[in-house]
Chain A
Amino acid sequence: MLKKSVVEHTLEAALETGADFAELYVEQTKRNHIAMVNGQVETALGGLDYGAGIRLFCGNRVIYAFVNDTSEENLVRTAREMASTVKGTHLLRLPDWKTRQWQNINPIFVLPDDVEKRKKADYLAAASAAAFAYDPAITQTRTGFLDVTKNVLVANSEGVWAEERRVRSRFTVEAVASSATEKQSGHLGPGGSVGFELFDQINVEDTAREAARIAMTMLGAKPCPAGKMPVVIDNGFGGVIFHEACGHGLEATAVARNASVFAGKLGQQIASPLVTAIDDGTIPNGWGSANMDDEGTPTRRNVLIENGILKTYLVDRMNGRKMGAAVTGSARRENYRFAPTSRMTNTFLAPGDSTPESIIADTPYGLYAKQMGGGSVDPATGAFNFAVLEAYIIRNGQICEPVRGATLIGKGAEVLMQIDKVGNNLKRAQGMCGSISGSIPTDVGQPMIRVKEMTVGGRG
């Protein structure tokens, strides 16, 4: 994207005053988004994101700048301004470039940016029609398709030169069911680091009918009862609970400044022995997968917790320096406007032995959270909260009536210890994760699990 000489001159200017590390990140992104309301195209958008981020380290200090004028003159001037805030002792010279290469883990068959937009809209219309056909009480639909083609270059003062083209596609569907007095909605959003072939892998009509089914189920549902009770969380997007309750607390971003309840706990039992948790950026065509992270380090599979024992944190370059830990290929950022930091990729709980049927049958009373919504956490305290989109009461080992408006709250360190059943039906689902380096695609996942006791919020 940039000439080698421009990159070299920029990094040399950045190192002039003795910084001990310099990095240039350049990005050009083509983005297309089509959204339908009730089967009519309401939004068709697209555009070009373009810019560069320069980063310097001097000891534990980070200096970051980003611009979208990437002329050599502007980049060198910006680098020099940054360097003027550094009084370092290092006199680094750029080594020869070591170009990073790999076997592409995310092969793309049909580049979505090349596909006629009308073809994309046809899939969305079919999904909308399928949702409406599911039940006359489905009164509104929203369907969408987003594709992103991002070209990234990372070059740094250690001679790393790494480039990658990242392609992601995602289909979303929301169905709204209405009665005279209320509206309930169901939504799903399958996607991956895949091209337009996404539509060969999923059936948009089945997905739309599933969203409609959730909306219809919740339409008749009574408000969820409140209080402490056992909670069975189903597979797939249920994994968001680990993502929030624990995952963010294992990011070096929080650990390095001692703002995580899991800081200083390596090698200790932090979860029930049934829990093994993995963050794997190398799952082929995974939503959170890439060949390299945003510091140019190859991604990898990191076992975070093994049989309840904390094995590793997710570590980026700067926080690794502060903690004396090696990088784990986990540095990510939304775009050039953010300095990278340690983030999750595809995070999931490994499957256990229990069948889903036996977990339900073994629960005399509790909440069955079939579809989770989003959530958030304060990593410093571990306090988290989630919305449950589709939930039922379990009574005498049977799934009974649906309930709506349930919220789950708790503290990560406590809930991990309270997991007393882990199913054998691992499934992953796609989400967007927001944190200090922006909003990035991440997979969450788990088999069905049971938490012995959780606080359930609701109006019933």
Chain B
Amino acid sequence: MDYKNFQKILIEKALAAGFSDCEVYYKGSKHFEVMIMEGEVSDYENSALQGISFRGTWQGRTGYAYTEKLTEPAADYLVAAAKEHAELLSESEWEELYHAGDAYPALEGENKALERLTTEEKILAAKKMEHAALKGEDSIASMDYCVLDTDWMETAIANSYGLSLYHAKNSVTAYVCAIAKDGEEVKTGSYFWKGNDWKQFDPVATGRKAAQIAASHLGAAPIASGKYKVVLDGPVMANFLGVFCGVFFAENIQKGFSMLGGKVGEQIAADCVTLRDDPLLPEGYASTPFDSEGVPCYNKAVVENGVLKTYLYNRKAARKDGVPSTGNGFKAGLTAPIKTAVTNFYLAPGQRSQAELLADMGEGILITDITGLHAGANTVSGDFSLSAEGFLVTDGKLGQAVEQITVAGNFYELLKNITEAANDLYFTSGGKGAPSVRVREMDIAGK
């Protein structure tokens, strides 16, 4: 049955079974993907999915269950399973549902023109992107991948208090990775474009950029271990923010999984550091008018000129602290409960270019890639030790490519040691953003 019908029937069944309130979260999506290999379509993918996540209050506790089958027996299963789950919980595990009534920001997530784009146009663009990557530099030997995706997604939240919300968004993502070779030496370079205005997509520039990145890292060697002055490239800093943003979540602070407890109003970062979470950013990859609990979203500074302004809250954590939710209650998918997440979360850019920061630094290293964040970063203590690549900087200019080094440090200290942010703000496809930043000093292990 269609989701609206399913929402209605499920709410009726849950209330009849004794739930005091309940919420039905629906997500539908359509996905198209084409992969090009050597000028031909190698993989072609299409999908249409839908699913329901249910939560409701049963004897003062919140029970969850989900299904990808939208049938009447599945509705009965959800009610029974959510009840059983609620009974297991301790009494404090109650999530108060959101009552309707607030105004929501206007946000257009869907570009209808994109839905009219033909498969042939998408394939042609992907082929152009691959061709540009292969021809981009003499050293490009082959492709790791060349993919073009289009996504369309709808979210609908209804609850027994009359809340009824709907938002749809769509996007194209093109991602490409080229392999450069020089003798036995191999380097990969990847780049992507994401947006929902097809006219802004330049497949040739995207492909060429991947080729340039791969080729620029050839001839890389480790450097001697020691302490170095560092500039972190925008994507690197953005990835740090993605991994460590949980330190700003009230629910982690309440459980003792962050070191920022009791620090609101205090200086926790250098003066030049401002971190914003902006769910309404025009063309933001993670823009949304409401969170997964139906709370309206708004733009806010989390850190302003180095001072911690607020934690990020979902409704349950906000209730504990006696404050309103900041509209950061999100679920990672149908199977997940409401947790906290950021939207477009970024370090605000400064005035000068990366080149000017490098010139100021004189001697040091520009780090362009880090890997191993999922394992080599401790999100509680803030410690990290990660595999890295980049370039030596001598006389303020880029020099020798560097590989097979690790960079070690601590996220809390990093925030304090940033001396300047450049003007080249970059966003990852997940909406985490940062410009290049200059850092006083970091520990490098190499030769």
Residues of A that sit less than 8 Å from B by CB: 31, 34, 37, 40-51, 60-69, 78, 81-82, 85, 117-118, 121, 139-140, 176, 178, 182-185, 223-224, 226-228, 257-259, 261, 337, 339, 373-376, 378, 380-387, 404-407, 409-411, 455-459
Contact = CB atoms under 8 A, between A and B. Distances in A.
Given A48-B74, A459-B443, A407 B225 contact: no
Given A48-B68, A183-B381, A41 B371 contact: no
A65 B49 CA distance: 11
Given A64-B44, A339-B43, A140 B256 contact: yes
B50 interface: yes
Contacts of A411: 404
A196 B48 CA distance: 35
Interface in B313-336: 334-336
Given A183-B380, A380-B179, A380-B188, A375 B404 contact: no
Contacts, number: 224
A226 B69 contact: no
B443 A257 contact: no
Given A61-B42, A374-B374, A387-B372, A48 B445 contact: no
Contacts of B374: 374, 376
Given A44-B89, A48-B66, 16 more contacts: A42-B90, A44-B84, A44-B85, A45-B66, A46-B85, A64-B45, A68-B69, A178-B256, A261-B186, A337-B49, A374-B374, A383-B403, A385-B406, A457-B405, A457-B407, A459-B409
Interface stretch (B8-16, B156-164, B382-390): B382-390
Contacts of A50: 67-69
A36 to B, nearest CB: 9
29 contacts: A40-B90, A40-B93, A42-B90, A44-B85, A45-B335, A46-B66, A47-B335, A48-B67, A51-B49, A62-B43, A64-B45, A66-B49, A85-B119, A117-B88, A176-B256, A224-B385, A226-B408, A259-B143, A339-B45, A374-B375, A378-B188, A383-B404, A385-B371, A385-B372, A385-B406, A386-B375, A387-B372, A407-B408, A458-B443
A337 B387 contact: no
Contacts of B383: 404-405, 459
B350 interface: no
Given A65-B45, A69-B48, A406 B385 contact: yes
B65 interface: yes
A68 B49 contact: yes
Nearest to B63: A44
A26 B250 CA distance: 41
Interface of chain A, main secondary structure: strand
Interface in B63-84: 63-69, 74, 77, 81, 84
A373 B384 CA distance: 13
A41 to B, nearest CB: 5
B47 A41 contact: no
Contact of A407 (B93, B335, B336, B387): B387
B385 A228 contact: no
Contacts of B409: 459
B1 to A, nearest CB: 10
B445 A226 contact: yes
Q: Which 5 A-B pairs have the closest CB atoms?
A: A457-B406, A226-B445, A374-B375, A385-B387, A47-B66
A178 B381 CA distance: 10
A67 B45 CA distance: 11
A50 B70 CA distance: 10
A259 B144 contact: yes
A50 B73 CA distance: 14
B376 interface: yes
B42 A60 contact: yes
A363 B339 CA distance: 47
Interface of B: 37, 40-51, 53, 63-69, 74, 77, 81, 84-86, 88-90, 92-93, 119, 142-144, 179, 186-188, 222, 225, 255-257, 334-337, 371-372, 374-376, 378, 380-381, 383, 385-387, 403-409, 443-447
A456 B42 CA distance: 40
Contact of A61 (B43, B74, B376): B43
Contacts of A46: 65-66, 81, 85
Contact of A226 (B50, B81, B256, B443): B443
Contacts of A375: 372, 375
Contact of B68 (A49, A60, A78, A456): A49
B138 to A, nearest CB: 18
B51 A43 contact: no
Contact of A457 (B42, B77, B385): B385
Contacts of B222: 455
**Interface-centre pick from A62, A68, A140 (highest chain B CB count, 10 A):** A68
Contacts of B378: 185, 405
A37 B51 CA distance: 28
A252 to B, nearest CB: 14
A406 B408 CA distance: 9
A457 B46 CA distance: 43
Nearest to A372: B375
A314 to B, nearest CB: 18
B327 to A, nearest CB: 22
A31 B335 contact: yes
A216 to B, nearest CB: 15
A200 B51 CA distance: 36
Given A65-B45, A226-B445, A176 B380 contact: yes
Contacts of A176: 256, 380
Nearest to A60: B42
Given A226-B225, A455-B404, A387 B385 contact: yes
A454 to B, nearest CB: 10
Given A45-B65, A183-B380, A459 B408 contact: yes
Contact of B375 (A69, A227, A373): A373
A118 B43 CA distance: 46
Given A259-B144, A373-B375, A47 B81 contact: yes
B385 to A, nearest CB: 4
A82 B34 CA distance: 13
Contact of B67 (A47, A60, A69, A384): A47
Contacts of A62: 42-44
Contacts of B255: 37, 140
A64 B47 CA distance: 8
B163 to A, nearest CB: 22
A226 B49 contact: no
A81 to B, nearest CB: 7
A457 B68 contact: no
Contacts of B386: 385, 407, 457
A415 to B, nearest CB: 11
A387 B68 contact: no
A172 to B, nearest CB: 16
Contacts of A67: 47-49
Nearest to B62: A44
Contacts of B335: 31, 45, 47, 49
Contacts of A82: 44, 46
